Each structure stands twice: as structure tokens, then as C-alpha cells.
């Protein structure tokens, strides 16, 4: 499965971020084509010094090509264009295909 992860830095207005994110941005994210699942959390702790992330989101897709296509779709473009409306603390995006490990 392919994962796209958004890591959000601490915003200037945490209450605005939460309200906007829950009521506007997540419903947009839910419209990404062919997304298998998505998860988010405001309870983000850093292992090590300092808490540098306020929120995280993960979208899961069948493969990298499907994820890329979803992000390039009209819905994906609308999602990207929406980020400046709430993410004043910046955003880091990660994209990877998860590998299973059998011990």
C-alpha cells in the first residue's frame, strides 16, 4: 500500500486550524479518488526533544501511481489549494510505499 503523510507544524491559531481542518479540509480529503483509507490525529508526540508537529494525516492508496493520480486530480488540486487557509505553521508531505517485514 502507498501512503501520503502530511505533518503540520504548530499553527498561529490552533482553534482555527482544528475547526477548519475538521469541517472543511478533511471532507475535501475524503473525496480523493481511489483512496482506500485515511487517518488523522491532533495527538502527535515527538520521540525525542521538542514537539514539532501539531497534526498528522495519512491517506492510503493501492500503489504509488494511484496516489499520484489522486493528488493530480481535480479533487487533489482543490485539497492542495485549501492548505493555506489553515496551515500557518507549515506542512511537510511524505510519500512512500510501505514494505512488510516478517520476523
Task: Of 96, 71, 89, 95, give the one whose Cα is nearest residue 8.
Answer: 89
Distance from C-alpha of 49 to C-alpha of 32, rounded to nearest angstrom? 35
User: Strand order in 55-61's β-sheet?
Assistant: 35-41, 55-61, 2-8, 91-97
* CATH number of domain containing 38: 3.30.70.100
pLDDT at 51: 73
pLDDT at 45: 86
pLDDT at 74: 98
pLDDT by position in tens, the chain (length 103): 999 999 999 999 999 999 999 999 999 999 999 999 999 999 998 887 777 899 999 999 999 999 999 999 999 999 999 999 999 999 999 999 999 999 8
pLDDT at 48: 78
Strands 91-97 and 2-8: antiparallel
The reply to whether 102 falls in a domain is: no
- The total number of structural domains in the chain stands at 1
- Domain that residue 54 falls in: 2-97
Distance from C-alpha of 3 to C-alpha of 24, rounded to nearest angstrom? 22
Q: Is the pTM of this model over 0.75?
A: yes
Q: How far apart are the first and last CA of the chain?
A: 19
The reply to whether 7 falls in a domain is: yes
10: Cβ–Cβ under 8 A, 6 or more apart, which residues?
52, 53, 54, 89
The reply to whether 87 falls in a domain is: yes
Amino acid at each position: 500500500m502507498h501512503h501520503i503523510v502530511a505533518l503540520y507544524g504548530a499553527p498561529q491559531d490552533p482553534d482555527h486550524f482544528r475547526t477548519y481542518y475538521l469541517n472543511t479540509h478533511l471532507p475535501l480529503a475524503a473525496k480523493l479518488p481511489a483512496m482506500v483509507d485515511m487517518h488523522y490525529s491532533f495527538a502527535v508526540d515527538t520521540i525525542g526533544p521538542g514537539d514539532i508537529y501539531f497534526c498528522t494525516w495519512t491517506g492510503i492508496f493501492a500503489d504509488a501511481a494511484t496516489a499520484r493520480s489522486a493528488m493530480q486530480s481535480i479533487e487533489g488540486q482543490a485539497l492542495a489549494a485549501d492548505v493555506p487557509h489553515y496551515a500557518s505553521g507549515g506542512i511537510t508531505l511524505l510519500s512512500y510505499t510501505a514494505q512488510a517485514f516478517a520476523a
